[in-house]
Amino acid sequence: MKKQHFLFSVFLTVIVLSFFSCKKDQTPVEQLPNPEIKAGTANLSGKVMDYHGEKDEEPPFVYLQVFYPVTAEIMDYETQLAVDGSFYFEEIPIECNTIGFIGSDIFNWTSVGVALISNEETQVKILYDPNNPIQVQYTKNSLLAASDTILCSYELMDNFLHSPGSTRKKYYDMKPEEFRQYAMDRMKEKITFALDGESLPPKAKNWISNEFKLIYLAEVLLDYKDYMSLNYRNFKNEEEPDDFTPQEPDKSYYSFLKEFDLNNSQYLYNQTYSTVLERILRNDTLSIPPIGDTPIDRWMKEVKEILSDLVGFDKGLFYDLLATNSYAQQFNDASRPLSNQQKENITNYFKGKKEEIAKILLNKNKEIEKIAGITAHLKINETPIVPEKELTDPAHDHPKGLLIDSIVARYKGKVVLIDFWATWCSPCLKAMQTSRELKQEMIGKDVIFVYITNSSSPKELWEKKIQGIGGEHYYLENDGEWESISYSDKYEFDGIPTYLIFDTNGVFKHKFTSYPGNDEMRKMLEELIP
């Protein structure tokens, strides 16, 4: 199993439910301990029981995924199992006490929830039996008792996503206010169906209910136009809704936001909270302005005029994280450091009890400053014209890959790394984030980074995303161009991200799907640099 199979999104592979307890916690019994935003580091050690590796075999990796609500990131860390099954993650940065997810090639599509606590070491034992569900025991953790259990269920998310009654419902012709009521009722039905009959601890049930609500909010209610277009295509059996334009909902449509209690600090445990914030910040109807160099209190006043009636409050965590996530868009979309004015604005606004937020943003800015050089070179290229009759080999009825050969020929004398990606591909975007330090190292060396996508990526969004990527870009308007590569005998692939590497003479050397990590990628590139 590949790393991205269970780490690109925990909730596409497995839902991990945790029963938390803490004697000193004053939060309601059905909730996790309320987290506090504070920069820190956590250690995690563990052992996979009954695992015995062979000395002459490469030990499997253990992967740890951590969510960052302030800077709107998901980071992956990795280490290798020792021969006795032990592993250790040291000084993992966190923005608040949180839940991370660990997985391994040997876990067979399962992720395990673990608590990460500032200035502490969490110790776990993973009881692994290929024929039975994984179990976890906490031997040291200030939030979890040793007797607490973690239930790993593949079925809950599937029940939520595919609950009866939704597959053939026609709603693309509903008015926005009609769809709003239908969607809210449908969300409650889906959650009830998914959790009905499940014997879950109250805290686990609250945690997963929150995640379901946030997923539905982000992917359905806040994504109204795309959701309508998808429903239209499903009913008309068309790939693109050329003759259908969804209505543009007005501001009143978003009154459903009041039902989600977006100030709830429990959402800091949920990966999808940042996705919701991003969708709100990018929403065309709400038209929240970029924060830019505007003083935060002035920006916040304008934001509250737009949102306060819709969300039902005018202060709190939600607004603070909208501001931090707006700065995070600058970091993550454009790899652009903060201006001096922005640094001053952050320091002036996030002070006193909120100064930890300023600390987190300014520390992140230092990281961005180190890799800002990767965006200095950005070029959008015209796709080489290859006659259609030359794209396919008549003898074998397969594309010949001539389009790639034509692109690589433009960079003779350079090592060429080609990255096939899409704006909707989470593993693609995560790999680009991971590779930023490597790209910074390669500045001034004979290495060219080439990025290729197709019309499945909305062009306007693509133009925004590439600002933070840098390198040489190609946008294939014609689906046949993409197929002439992905179906070719020479370069065939069926998933993204996929990478091709060519030496300085244009000779094809490597092809692989999923990002292998900076160390392995660096080794492959440096071996080809003259």
Count of the separate structural domains present in the chain: 3
**Nearest residue to 79 via CA among 121, 53, 41, 44:** 44
For residues 389 and 313, state if they share a domain: no
**pLDDT of res. 150:** 43
Asked which of 153, 172, 205 is the last residue of a domain, the reply is 153
**Measured CA distances, 212 to 187, 270, 388, 426, 472 (Å):** 8, 10, 47, 19, 39
**CATH number of 410's domain:** 3.40.30.10
- Location of structure tokens 């709400």: 286
Is 195 within 8 Å of 156 (Cβ atoms)? yes
Side-chain half-sphere CA neighbours of 477 within 13 A: 5
Kindly tell me the sign of the dihedral angle through the C-alpha atoms of 129, 135, 141, 147.
negative
Is 137 within 8 Å of 124 (Cβ atoms)? yes
For residues 236 and 339, state if they share a domain: yes
**pLDDT of res. 103:** 84
Asked which of 153, 181, 205 is the last residue of a domain, the reply is 153
Is 493 within 8 Å of 511 (Cβ atoms)? yes
**pLDDT of res. 29:** 55
Domain that holds residue 393: 376-526
pLDDT in tens for each of the 530 residues of the chain? Answer: 334 333 334 443 344 444 333 333 445 557 778 889 999 999 999 998 887 766 677 888 898 989 999 999 988 888 988 888 899 999 999 999 988 888 887 876 677 778 889 999 988 888 877 777 677 777 766 665 444 444 444 566 667 777 776 556 788 888 899 999 999 999 998 888 888 876 766 777 888 889 899 999 999 999 888 888 888 877 776 655 567 788 889 999 999 999 999 999 999 988 899 999 999 999 999 999 999 999 999 999 999 999 999 999 999 999 999 999 999 999 988 889 999 999 999 999 999 999 999 999 999 999 999 887 777 788 899 988 766 555 555 444 556 668 898 999 999 999 999 999 999 888 898 888 888 888 988 888 999 999 999 988 888 889 888 888 889 999 998 777 888 888 887 888 888 999 999 999 999 999 999 898 888 999 999 999 98
For residues 148 and 163, state if they share a domain: no
For residues 78 and 20, state if they share a domain: yes
**pLDDT of res. 271:** 86
Rounded CA separation 68/6 (Å) = 18
For residues 360 and 252, state if they share a domain: yes
For residues 502 and 389, state if they share a domain: yes
For residues 364 and 219, state if they share a domain: yes
For residues 111 and 46, state if they share a domain: yes
Write out the E strands in 336-402: 378-381, 392-393, 398-399
For residues 234 and 343, state if they share a domain: yes
pLDDT tens digits for 385-418?
Answer: 766 555 555 444 556 668 898 999 999 999 999 9
Q: In this structure, which amino acid lies at residue 245?
A: T
Rounded CA separation 482/407 (Å) = 13
Is 415 within 8 Å of 446 (Cβ atoms)? yes
Q: Which pair of structure tokens corresponds to residue 258? A: 């009041």
Rounded CA separation 528/530 (Å) = 6
Is 285 within 8 Å of 254 (Cβ atoms)? yes
Asked which of 349, 372, 395 is the last residue of a domain, the reply is 372
**pLDDT of res. 8:** 36
For residues 400 and 422, state if they share a domain: yes
**Nearest residue to 360 via CA among 268, 290, 270:** 268
**pLDDT of res. 108:** 67
For residues 477 and 335, state if they share a domain: no
CB-CB neighbours of 408 under 10 Å? 21
For residues 105 and 231, state if they share a domain: no
**pLDDT of res. 528:** 93
What are the DSSP calls for 462-488, one per residue?
Answer: HHHHGGGT-EEEEEE-SHHHHHHHHTS
Q: Which pair of structure tokens corresponds to residue 210? A: 């929150």
**CATH number of 105's domain:** 2.60.40.1120
